[in-house]
Amino acid sequence: MDAAKAAIYVVFSVLVSLGYPIGIKKSVLWPTTALEFLGLIVDFERQSFLIPRSKIDSFAVLREHILSSKSQVFLKTLQRFQGKCVSFSFAVPAAKLFIREISRAMASAHDMCLVSLNEFQKGGSVTLAFSG
């Protein structure tokens, strides 16, 4: 273990002397099997990307807010929902289907502030039923 610490010190010393800035707080100094990167957890053992629980919970709150709306929802709310689906699409490829449907509904909005929830039910699809 001492040899590993010494090697890290030498590497950091060389990089800093060459002018490379090192963000110690962001650096991972010891081997790990899972790492959070760009808002997703990269699990090296399972070879997969996972969504952190806090993101799933905030997604569920937003989803329930949209579903509790009777007929219309603010465009900004749908944009936030779409943004979450985009960020999840790397871990959940099926999220791309939601992105397409949300984009279609937002494009057909007559009012720039409100979107009719009826847009999601055209063609028999229920877009917002994604479970967290």
Task: Note the pLDDT tens digit of each residue in 24-81.
Answer: 888 888 778 999 888 899 999 999 999 999 999 999 999 898 888 877 888 888 889 8
Do 81 and 66 fall within a single domain? Answer: yes
pTM over 0.75: no
Q: Domain check: are 83 and 107 in the same one? A: yes
Do 65 and 123 lie in a common domain? yes
- Helix ranges (H only) for 18-94 are 53-68, 75-88
Same-domain pairing of 69 and 123: yes
Number of domains into which the chain is organized: 2
Residue 77 corresponds to which amino acid? T
Q: Give the Cα separation of 82 and 69 in Å (integer).
A: 17
Within 10 Å of residue 101's Cβ, how many Cβ atoms? 20
18 and 59 inside one domain: no
Are residues 98 and 77 located together in one domain of the fold? yes
Say if residues 64 and 43 touch (Cβ distance below 8 Å): no
Residues 120 and 65 both lie in one domain: yes
47: left (phi over 0), alpha (psi -120 to 50) or beta: left
Do 26 and 6 lie in one domain? The reply is yes
pLDDT over threshold 70, residue 88: yes
Residue showing tokens 């100094």 = 29
- Residue range(s) defining the domain that contains residue 90: 53-129
Q: Are residues 41 and 83 in the same domain?
A: no
